[in-house]
Each structure stands twice: as C-alpha cells, then as structure tokens.
C-alpha cells in the first residue's frame, strides 16, 4: 500500500492535528532518488500501526514544500503534536526511517 497522497488543503487536519506521529515524504515524479525511496516508504505505510504516512508531491504542492523549507528531495519529515520532530534528506534505509519515528 503506497503512502496516501496529501493535498495542502488536508495537511492541517491530517498532519498537524494528528494524535499519532506522522511521516511525510516530500517527493516528485522526476526525482530518481525519490523513486528509490518510494517503495520503502510504501512498505512502511503498509506496516504502520502507531503512526501515519503521507506523501506530498512538491510539484503539485509547492506552497507546502516552501512552508517547510524543502530544498532537496526526497525529504522525510516526522511531525509530532503538530511540530516537526525529526527530518531527513536523501535516500536512507528502512531502519533509519523507522528510527525517525521513535
């Protein structure tokens, strides 16, 4: 199951107001490293129990990317209680992504 695609209009309700930690993958179709990371994020999304996983296409949601200072993709941001708790830029292994969520 792929990470649910997230629109700017849903960001506050689904991410900032979430009772659970949220992993947000900022990506784009043309991005090679994003294509490498996407299956890993999808796998994590399929296994998610104590957190939520969403994906934001930076080409479709440039205002969100700008709001969170996304300059390089893929970028992973973990939100807890409406705030960025951790972040990572580039391709990282599944274990490191799961560590971000702890």
Please pick, among 34, 58, 64, 76, the residue that the annotation labels catalytic: 34
Q: Is 85 a catalytic residue?
A: no
Please pick, among 6, 22, 23, 31, the residue that the annotation labels catalytic: 31
Q: Is the distance from CB of 74 to CB of 90 less than 8 angstroms? A: yes
Handedness of CA 39, 78, 17, 48 (dihedral sign): positive
Q: Is 28 a catalytic residue?
A: no
* Whole-number CA gyration radius for the chain: 12
Active-site positions read: 31, 34
């Amino acid at each position: 199951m792929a990470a649910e695609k997230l629109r700017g209009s849903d960001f506050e309700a689904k991410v900032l107001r979430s009772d659970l930690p949220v992993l947000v993958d900022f990506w784009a179709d043309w991005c090679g490293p994003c294509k490498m990371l996407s299956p890993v994020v999808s796998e994590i999304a399929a296994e998610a129990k104590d957190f939520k996983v969403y994906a934001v296409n930076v080409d479709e949601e440039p205002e969100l990317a700008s709001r969170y200072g996304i300059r390089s993709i893929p970028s992973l941001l973990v939100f807890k209680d409406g705030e960025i708790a951790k972040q990572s830029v580039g391709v990282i292994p599944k274990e490191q992504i799961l560590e971000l969520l702890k």
